[in-house]
C-alpha cells in the first residue's frame, strides 16, 4: 500500500459517541502512519455528526464528515443499487482506500461496491480485504483494524490515543483541580437507557466513601442527572462535581478528558465517558456488564472488568469486588 493517500473513506456503523471515539483511534492511527490528504468519515449516527458538534475539538484537520449518504446506509439491501453511484458525490472517480470497521457480510458487500483502489474490512476475518493478509482473529473493534494495518506497514505501532488537549480545556481543568488534593474520577451514568450498564447506586456510594478517606471522589455527570447529583452530595463525603465550575461553553467531552488527566485514576462503566477518559493518558478502571472484549477502549492503561466473565452483573456487583479489582491493579 502506498504511503501517500489522496482520498480515504472510513465507515463507522456505530452510532454512539463512544463508537465515534473508538473510530477516532483508528483514524488517528491512519494519519500517524500514512500521509492522507482527505479522510472522509461516514457514520450511521442518525445525523448527530459527532465530529461537527460535541467532538469538534477531537476532529483531525483532514477529516471531512460525509452527510449525504442514504440514511442507514449499508443496512438495507436496496443500497446495493446506489453504492456505485455514490462516488458521484465527490470530485474524484474512486477512493484510494476504504476502511470499513464492521463485520456484517451484507454491509460489507454493499460498501465494497463504492469505487476504490484498496479496501479493508474485518468481515470474515479480512477475507474480502484488498490487500488480504492472513491474520489472527481479534474480537476488539479497534485492535483488529490496528493490527491489520500494522501488518500492512510491517510495524507494531500503538493505537492512536495520543491527542493534544487544547489549552483552554487543560488550563481550566488545572484551575479547578487543586494540586493540594488527590482526586479519583467516577463516571456512573449510561447514555443508552435500555441497556444494563450501571452500578447499583448504593454500591458505588460505598466505593466512593471508601476512597474518600484519602482522595476526593470526583464525578463526571451531565446536568440532566440532577436528582442523582443531589443524592451523591448527600451520601458521599467530600464529593466533587468539577464541571459545575466550568464555563457552560467549555462543558464538552474534551473537558472530561482534561479533568480525567489530572486524577489519580478513574472508575467508569461502559459508556461514552470511558472513551473520553481513555484519551487522558491516565489509568482507568472500566466495568462492563458483558462484551468487553469487543467494545473496550484499547488503551494500554485501561483495566477492564467484565461482569459476565466473572459470573456477576453490573447491577449486582458488590462494592468489595469493585474495590478489590482496583486495588490489585
Q: Which of 95, 119, 153 delimits the end of a domain? A: 153
Q: Write the pLDDT tens digit of every residue in 122-150.
A: 999 999 999 999 999 999 999 999 999 99
- Distance from C-alpha of 252 to C-alpha of 249, rounded to nearest angstrom: 8
The whole-number pLDDT of residue 48 equals 87
Q: Is residue 224 predicted with pLDDT exceeding 80?
A: yes
Confidence of residue 187 (pLDDT cuts 50, 70, 90): very high
Mean predicted confidence (pLDDT) in 197-205: 97
The yes-or-no verdict on residue 81 having pLDDT over 80 is yes
Residue 242 confidence class, pLDDT cut points 50, 70, 90: very high
* Residue 193: band (very low, low, confident or very high) from pLDDT cuts 50, 70, 90: low
Q: Give the contacts of 32 (CB within 8 A, at least 6 positions apart).
A: 157, 160
Per-residue model confidence (pLDDT) at position 265: 98
Q: Are residues 239 and 324 in the same domain?
A: yes
* CATH number of the domain bearing residue 113: 3.40.50.2000
Provide the residue range defining the domain that includes 107. Answer: 4-153
Average the pLDDT over 239-265 and give the result: 97
Region of 238 (left: φ > 0; alpha: ψ -120 to 50; beta: rest) is left
20 and 148 share a domain? yes
83-108 pLDDT, tens digit per residue, is 999 999 999 999 999 999 999 999 99
Report in angstroms the alpha-carbon separations of 118 from 6, 83, 154, 305: 12, 16, 17, 37
Q: Inform me whether the pLDDT recorded for 195 exceeds 80.
A: no
Say if residue 181 is in the same domain as residue 146: no
Provide the domain count of the chain: 2
Residues 171 and 319 in one domain: yes
Residue 21 and residue 148 in one domain: yes
pLDDT by residue (tens digit) across 153-179?
A: 999 999 999 999 999 999 999 999 999
Whether 84 is in a domain gets the answer yes
pLDDT class of 46 with cuts at 50, 70, 90: confident
What pLDDT band is residue 7 in, cutting at 50, 70 and 90? very high
| Single pTM value for the model | 0.95
Within 8 A by CB and 6+ apart from 129, the residues are 119, 120, 121, 148
Q: Is residue 197 pLDDT above 70, yes or no?
A: yes
Question: Is the pLDDT assigned to residue 326 strictly greater than 80?
Answer: yes
* Higher pLDDT among residues 196 and 228, named by residue: 228
Indicate whether 161 belongs to any domain.
no
Is 118 in contact with 31 (CB distance < 8 Å)? Answer: no
Residue 287 inside a domain? The answer is yes
Are 128 and 188 members of one domain? no
Mean pLDDT across 193-205 = 89
Question: How confident is residue 191, by pLDDT bands cut at 50, 70 and 90?
Answer: confident
Which 8-state DSSP code applies to residue 155?
Answer: -
Q: Provide the β-strand partners of residue 1.
A: none
pLDDT(192) > 80? no
Amino acid at each position: 500500500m502506498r504511503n501517500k493517500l489522496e482520498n480515504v473513506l472510513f465507515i463507522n456503523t456505530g452510532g454512539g459517541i463512544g463508537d465515534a471515539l473508538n473510530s477516532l483511534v483508528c483514524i488517528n492511527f491512519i494519519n500517524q502512519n500514512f500521509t492522507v490528504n482527505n479522510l472522509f468519515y461516514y457514520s450511521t449516527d442518525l445525523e448527530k455528526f459527532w465530529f461537527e458538534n460535541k467532538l469538534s475539538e477531537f476532529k483531525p484537520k483532514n477529516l471531512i464528515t460525509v452527510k449525504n449518504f442514504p440514511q442507514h446506509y449499508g443496512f438495507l439491501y436496496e443500497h446495493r443499487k446506489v453504492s456505485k453511484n455514490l462516488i458521484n458525490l465527490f470530485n474524484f472517480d474512486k477512493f484510494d482506500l476504504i476502511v470499513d470497521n464492521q463485520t456484517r457480510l451484507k454491509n460489507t458487500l454493499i460498501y465494497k461496491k463504492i469505487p476504490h483502489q484498496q479496501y479493508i474490512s474485518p468481515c470474515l476475518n479480512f477475507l474480502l480485504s484488498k490487500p488480504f493478509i492472513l491474520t489472527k482473529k481479534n474480537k476488539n473493534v479497534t485492535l483488529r483494524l490496528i493490527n491489520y494495518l500494522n501488518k500492512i506497514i510491517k510495524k507494531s505501532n500503538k493505537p492512536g490515543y495520543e491527542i493534544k488537549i487544547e489549552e483552554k480545556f487543560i488550563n481550566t481543568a488545572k484551575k479547578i483541580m487543586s494540586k493540594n488534593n488527590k482526586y479519583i474520577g467516577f463516571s456512573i451514568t449510561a447514555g443508552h437507557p435500555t441497556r444494563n450498564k450501571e452500578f447499583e447506586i448504593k454500591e458505588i456510594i460505598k466505593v466512593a466513601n471508601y476512597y474518600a478517606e484519602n482522595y476526593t471522589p470526583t464525578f463526571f455527570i451531565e446536568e440532566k442527572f440532577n436528582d442523582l447529583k443531589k443524592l451523591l452530595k448527600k451520601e458521599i463525603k467530600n464529593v466533587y462535581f468539577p464541571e459545575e465550575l466550568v464555563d457552560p461553553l467549555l462543558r464538552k467531552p474534551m473537558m472530561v478528558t482534561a479533568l480525567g488527566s489530572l486524577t489519580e485514576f478513574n472508575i467508569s462503566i461502559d459508556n461514552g465517558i470511558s472513551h473520553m477518559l481513555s484519551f487522558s493518558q491516565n489509568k482507568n478502571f472500566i466495568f462492563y456488564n458483558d462484551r468487553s472484549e469487543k467494545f473496550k477502549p484499547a488503551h494500554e492503561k485501561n483495566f477492564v472488568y467484565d461482569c459476565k466473565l466473572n459470573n456477576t452483573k453490573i447491577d449486582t456487583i458488590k462494592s468489595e469486588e469493585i474495590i478489590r479489582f482496583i486495588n490489585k491493579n
